[in-house]
């Protein structure tokens, strides 16, 4: 009895002391989550153990120093002449509305047995990742699909694809469009209706994408591309190409999206092979397929994914130039840009059995902070390295220094160029976003309501031919 009387005050004191500690731990846990969702990635930069140094320019003369920091395909580009200006790593913050949506909704997200995303409303679905999670690869892909770069809508004016033949200094072909735009019905955080457009329930459409009208070369004026992606993972994309000559819209198969733009029968191509494809004239050629826009734009349900690990790698995410500048190197045709150490997730994407995709295997390098793809290597059906992609991104409160309309209250990430090089043929296509020759200095209109669902129709493609 005496012992109980003696211990009781001690227990009471211990409980009193533990309550604020528990409250503090809960607050600390919440603060850690907020920091993690705001920062997401792991901060890193070049240190004394690295074989590259800040201020160094990596190129043909010293490319071996960068081998461990590049994908196999990107390493070949540097070996062939692409130059990297090594700079300190910089931070990339999420837009505040996206950050708030992540905190509010991410806890209710989960994956089905088939890898489908359940409970998603807006923001990043899976801000906290465990490398030992057997579903981590699929979660990384869903984070990429719902990345903070574009959440509501976007309209890029005058994108251009320039294609270069091996050994040629100047482009053999230019393809320029008036608009490259998309509208998302789900995950909206800045423009009403939020977070879901009622059109999603009425049509079952998750997102719409349009690339039209083509304005250059003259043989392609008036052509266009339209793509719808659905909420139902078992429903394939609807894809249409507008043919100016016949004034008709041709429906394409979903598998065509892994073929080059010029491969569509609607614009005179034969389809069926990744590479330089002529259409509708022998001079027109390009490498880039719609599934490779932004590094990876395929329907995620068409692939199975395998997590290959986390790596410290070089990437260009704070590009110095917008519009991107053209140089005459033998590899990328993009002038030397800023490259920095980034913390990346590496994921292998393999086409599911029965999918008739021209590109059966892709290795994706995904930034753990901005959740965009920095590089991708593509393999052919025999397992050989076929094409390599590299993305160049800028981070600013405007897409171009001379912008007067599209100016944002916080910095955003903007794609400025993507190189797609066929390592087997030597042909290189570069998507400039926007074209260096764009007549406007306001290029990217992101989450500004510049387009809505009514713009993405076959009728709009037909009318746009008269631009």
Spatial distance between the Cα atoms of 169 and 165, rounded to a whole number of angstroms? 8
CB 427 within 8 A of CB 421: yes
Q: CA separation (Å) from 337 to 86, 89, 327? A: 8, 14, 11
- Structural domain includes residue 352: yes
Check residue 15 and give its pLDDT.
37
What is the count of structural domains for the chain? Answer: 1
- Structural domain includes residue 261: yes
Check residue 266 and give its pLDDT.
59
Check residue 269 and give its pLDDT.
58
Residues with Cβ within 8 Å of residue 273, at least 6 apart in sequence: 259, 263, 358
φ/ψ of residue 13, rounded to 5: -65, -45
What CATH number is given to the structural domain containing 352?
2.50.20.10
Q: Helix/strand/coil (H, E, C) string of 282-294?
A: CCCCCCCCHHHHH
- Structural domain includes residue 54: no
Spatial distance between the Cα atoms of 117 and 141, rounded to a whole number of angstroms? 10
Check residue 276 and give its pLDDT.
54
Check residue 270 and give its pLDDT.
54
Residue 263, domain extent: 136-464
DSSP per-residue string spanning 33-102: HHHHHHH-S------TTSSS-TT-EESTTTGGGGGGGS-HHHHHHHHHT--EEE------PPPHHHHHHH
Tokens of 78: 């540097």
Cis status of the peptide bond prior to 280, with omega within 30 of 0:
yes
- Structural domain includes residue 30: no
Spatial distance between the Cα atoms of 37 and 217, rounded to a whole number of angstroms? 45
CB 385 within 8 A of CB 377: yes
Q: CA separation (Å) from 168 to 144, 336, 428? A: 35, 19, 10
Q: CA separation (Å) from 89 to 35, 83, 94, 122, 318? A: 18, 17, 16, 28, 9
Q: CA separation (Å) from 178 to 245, 403, 442? A: 18, 18, 13
- Structural domain includes residue 84: no
pTM: 0.88
Tokens of 195: 């977070």
**Residue whose tokens read 């998507």:** 431
- Structural domain includes residue 108: no
- Structural domain includes residue 105: no
CB 383 within 8 A of CB 396: no
**Residue whose tokens read 């892909």:** 141
Query: If we measure between CA atoms, which residue out of 79, 81, 55, 47 comes closest to residue 66?
Result: 79
Residues with Cβ within 8 Å of residue 133, at least 6 apart in sequence: 139
Check residue 264 and give its pLDDT.
65
Spatial distance between the Cα atoms of 318 and 40, rounded to a whole number of angstroms? 17
Q: Over the chain (467 residues), what is each successive 10-residue block's mean pLDDT?
A: 39 39 36 41 77 96 97 97 96 97 98 94 98 97 97 97 90 92 98 98 97 86 92 92 77 81 62 50 69 95 97 98 89 95 98 91 98 98 96 96 94 97 94 93 95 92 66
Check residue 87 and give its pLDDT.
97
Query: If we measure between CA atoms, which residue out of 409, 370, 343, 325 comes closest to residue 143?
Result: 370
Query: If we measure between CA atoms, which residue out of 387, 410, 383 comes closest to residue 398?
Result: 410
Check residue 425 and give its pLDDT.
92
CB 314 within 8 A of CB 339: yes
Spatial distance between the Cα atoms of 390 and 394, rounded to a whole number of angstroms? 14
Spatial distance between the Cα atoms of 377 and 363, rounded to a whole number of angstroms? 5
CB 58 within 8 A of CB 78: yes
- Structural domain includes residue 164: yes
């Amino acid at each position: 009895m005496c012992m109980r009387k003696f211990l009781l005050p001690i227990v009471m004191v211990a409980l009193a002391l533990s309550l604020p500690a528990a409250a503090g731990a809960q607050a600390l846990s919440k603060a850690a989550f907020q920091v993690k969702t705001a920062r997401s990635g792991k901060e890193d930069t070049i240190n004394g153990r690295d074989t590259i140094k800040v201020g160094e320019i990596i190129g043909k003369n010293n490319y071996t120093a960068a081998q461990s920091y590049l994908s196999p395909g990107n390493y070949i580009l540097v070996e062939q002449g692409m130059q990297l200006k090594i700079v300190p790593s910089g931070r990339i913050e999420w837009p505040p509305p996206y950050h708030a949506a992540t905190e509010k909704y991410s806890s209710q997200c989960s994956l089905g047995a088939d890898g489908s995303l359940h409970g998603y409303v807006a923001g990043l679905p899976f801000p906290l990742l465990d490398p030992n999670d057997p579903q981590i690869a699929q979660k990384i892909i869903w984070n990429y699909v719902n990345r903070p770069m574009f959440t509501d809508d976007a309209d890029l004016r005058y994108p251009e694809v320039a294609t270069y033949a091996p050994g040629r200094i100047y482009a053999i072909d230019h393809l320029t469009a008036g608009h490259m735009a998309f509208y998302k019905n789900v995950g909206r955080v800045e423009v009403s209706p939020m977070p879901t457009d009622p059109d999603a329930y009425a049509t079952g459409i998750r997102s719409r994408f349009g690339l039209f009208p083509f304005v250059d070369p003259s043989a392609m004026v008036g052509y266009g591309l339209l793509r719808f992606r659905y909420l139902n993972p078992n429903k394939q994309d609807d894809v249409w190409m507008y043919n100016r000559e016949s004034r008709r819209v041709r429906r394409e198969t979903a598998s065509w999206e892994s073929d080059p733009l010029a491969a569509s029968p609607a614009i005179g191509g034969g389809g069926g092979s990744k590479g330089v494809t002529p259409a509708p004239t022998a001079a027109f050629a390009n490498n880039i397929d719609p599934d490779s826009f932004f590094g990876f734009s395929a329907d995620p349900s068409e692939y199975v994914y395998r997590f290959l690990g986390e790596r410290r790698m070089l990437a260009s995410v704070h590009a110095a130039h917008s519009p991107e500048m053209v140089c005459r190197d033998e590899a990328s045709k993009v002038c030397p840009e800023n490259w920095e150490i980034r913390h990346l997730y590496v994921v292998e994407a393999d086409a599911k059995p029965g999918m008739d995709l021209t590109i059966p295997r892709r290795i994706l390098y995904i930034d753990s902070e901005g959740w965009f793809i920095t590089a991708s290597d593509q393999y052919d059906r025999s397992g050989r390295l076929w094409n390599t992609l590299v993305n160049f991104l800028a981070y600013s409160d405007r897409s171009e220094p001379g912008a007067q309309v599209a100016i944002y209250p916080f910095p955003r990430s903007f794609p400025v160029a993507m190189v797609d090089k066929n390592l087997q043929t030597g042909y290189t296509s570069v998507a400039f976003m926007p074209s260096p020759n764009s007549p406007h200095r306001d290029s990217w209109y992101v989450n500004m309501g510049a387009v809505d669902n009514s713009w993405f129709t076959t009728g709009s493609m037909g009318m746009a031919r008269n631009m």
